[in-house]
């Protein structure tokens, strides 16, 4: 298996996001918590079972208010790469552990873990039975 690195820039989707954020600013106090022009560099361990291929892919994602690792993954899937697979189920309260992944080597619950102030993170599947990308089997 060959490892490779692909970098993607989210400049375009981010414009709309910034414009919206500017509009909202001043209306809701909580919007001021996060400076909107910040980005996070997400390095994701990808695996394509169809092609038997593994690689690390980088995404430059605009940070948004209260962003969790789950909304980060959702952002990438919806705006940057439709082929990214992860478990988007949610109890939303960090109790069922279905969405779990590893961030910088540590298992976390994406729905209940804010991305915080990290500039660069490595996201990997949190299990040995990997089906595709971050999706694992619980058998």
Partner 1 sequence: MAETNLVKTDVLVVGGGAAGVRAAIEADAGGADVVIASKGPLARSGSTPLAYPTFQASAGFMDARDCPDVHYQDILAEGKGLSDMDLARALADEAVDRYHDLERYGVRFETEEGRILQSHYPGQTYPRNLLIVGGGFGMVSGLRNELRRRPRPRIMEDVVISRLLLDDGEVAGAVGLSLRDGRFYVFQAKAVVLAGGGYEALWENMDASRDCTGDTITLAFEAGADIIDLEMTLYYPGVFAYPESLKGILIQYETILGKQYFDFRLVNNLGEEFLKGPLPGRDVLMRAIYAEIEEGRGTEHNAVYVDPRRSSKSPEEIEKMIKRFVEGPDKLWRKLGIDIRKDLFEICPAMHYTLGGIRIDEKTRTSLPGLFAAGENSSNVHGANRIGGNALAETQVFGARGGKYGALYAKKRREVRLSEAEIKEEVSRLNGIKEKKKGGIRPLAVRDELRKLMDRYVGPNRNEEGLKTALGKILDLKENGLPRFQAVGRRIFNSDWSMAIEVSGTLVLAELVVRSAIQRKESRGHHYRSDFPESLPDARHTLVRMKDGEVRVGYADVTRLG
139 contributes a contact to partner 1 by CB under 8 A: yes
Pick the binder of partner 1 from 2, 3, 5, 30 (CB under 8 A). 30
- According to the binding rule CB under 8 A, does residue 46 interact with partner 1? no
**Contact call for residue 19 and partner 1 (CB under 8 A):** no
Task: Judge contact between 96 and 46, C-beta under 8 A.
Answer: no
Minimum distance from residue 131 beta carbon to partner 1 (Å) = 6
Q: Interface with partner 1 includes 33 (CB under 8 A)?
A: yes
* SS3 readout for the chain: CCCCEEEECCHHHHHHHHHHHHHHCCCCHHHHCCCCCCEEEEEEEEEECCCCEEEEEEEEEECCCCCEHHHHHHHHHHHCCCCCCCCCCCCCCCCCCCCCEEECCEEECHHHCECCCCCEEEEEECCCCEEECCEECCC
Q: CB-based burial of residue 62 (10 Å sphere; 0-12 exposed, 13-18 middle, 19+ buried)? A: buried
| Residue 90-109 contact track with partner 1, rule CB under 8 A, x = bound | xxxxxxx-x-----------
Taking CB under 8 A as the criterion, the residue among 9, 12, 19, 114 binding partner 1 is 114
- Is 77 one of the binding residues for partner 1 (CB under 8 A)? yes
Minimum separation from the CB atom of position 12 to partner 1 (A): 16
Give contact residues for partner 1 (rule: CB under 8 A).
23-24, 27-30, 33-34, 48-51, 64-68, 70-71, 74, 77-78, 82-85, 87-96, 98, 111-114, 131-133, 135, 137-139
């Amino acid at each position: 298996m060959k490892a490779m690195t692909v970098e993607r820039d989210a400049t375009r989707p981010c414009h709309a996001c910034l414009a919206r954020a500017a509009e909202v600013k001043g209306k809701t106090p909580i919007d001021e918590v996060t400076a909107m022009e910040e980005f996070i560099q997400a390095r994701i361990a990808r695996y394509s079972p169809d092609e038997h291929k593994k690689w690390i892919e980088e995404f430059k994602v605009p940070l948004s208010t209260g962003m969790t690792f789950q909304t980060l993954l959702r952002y990438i899937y919806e705006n940057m790469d439709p082929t990214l697979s992860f478990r988007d189920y949610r109890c939303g309260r960090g109790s069922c552990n279905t969405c779990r992944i590893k961030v910088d080597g540590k298992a976390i619950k994406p729905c209940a873990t804010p991305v915080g102030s990290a500039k660069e993170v490595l996201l990997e599947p949190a299990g040995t039975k990997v089906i595709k990308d971050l999706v694992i089997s619980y058998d």
